[in-house]
Amino acid sequence: MEHLEIERKFLIRIPDAALLSRLPRSEIEQVYILSEEGIRERVRRRVFADGIVYTHTAKKRLSDLTRIEREEEIGEERYRELLGRADPSRRPVRKTRYIYEYEGQPFEIDLFPFWEDRAIMELELNDENEELRLPPGIGIIREVTSDGRYTNAAIAREIPRESI
């Protein structure tokens, strides 16, 4: 199904373990696959407490905040087939995702195994001008929506190592 993905991203300090332990979580592995120019494709394996979901996603960038996204759930066999088109210039991205609901907005907090002091928090919006209410108690370092180094596709090539 195709829709507009409008998203803002923040580099944050890893939240307190007590907070994270209360949040729904999943383990994600995503692999970028070769695709036509201007389209970014990936397959994702997402492990929940009650099962595994495989998805195939294609995105086309419209602006720093907005992309056209087509995502479909697929079976394990199709997932393995698409892995055959893995982009050799990008490594798989592994992360633990926590969902933090605040004032009716679901924030996704992604912890990566290569960082000990930071994480990425994302929020999907309905409109680029939608009011943003950030959850208290989250140590925001800075917004990285417009910083291409912090897309998962870029992280699959090179991990940002800046000091915070």
Q: What is the CATH number of the domain that holds 104?
A: 2.40.320.10
> Within a domain: residue 148?
yes
d(CA 72, CA 113): 27
| Cβ-contact 65, 145 below 8 angstroms | yes
Cα distance from N-terminal residue to C-terminal residue, the chain? 38
Residue 49 is part of which domain span? 2-155
In a domain, 161, yes or no: no
- Flag whether 105 is in a domain: yes
In the chain, % of residues over pLDDT 90: 88
- The pLDDT tens digits of the residues spanning 59-109 come to 999 998 899 999 999 999 999 999 999 999 999 999 999 999 999 999 999
Percent of the chain that is helix, strand, coil (3-state, to 5): 10, 50, 40
Per the domain annotation, does 160 fall within a domain? no
Look at residue 163 and tell me if it is in a domain: no
Residue 16 in domain: yes
Cβ–Cβ contacts within 10 Å for residue 135, how many? 18
146 in a structural domain: yes
- The domain tally of the chain equals 1
Closest by Cα among 2, 52, 1 to 28: 52
Per-residue pLDDT of 21-46, as tens digits, reads 999 999 999 999 999 999 999 999 99
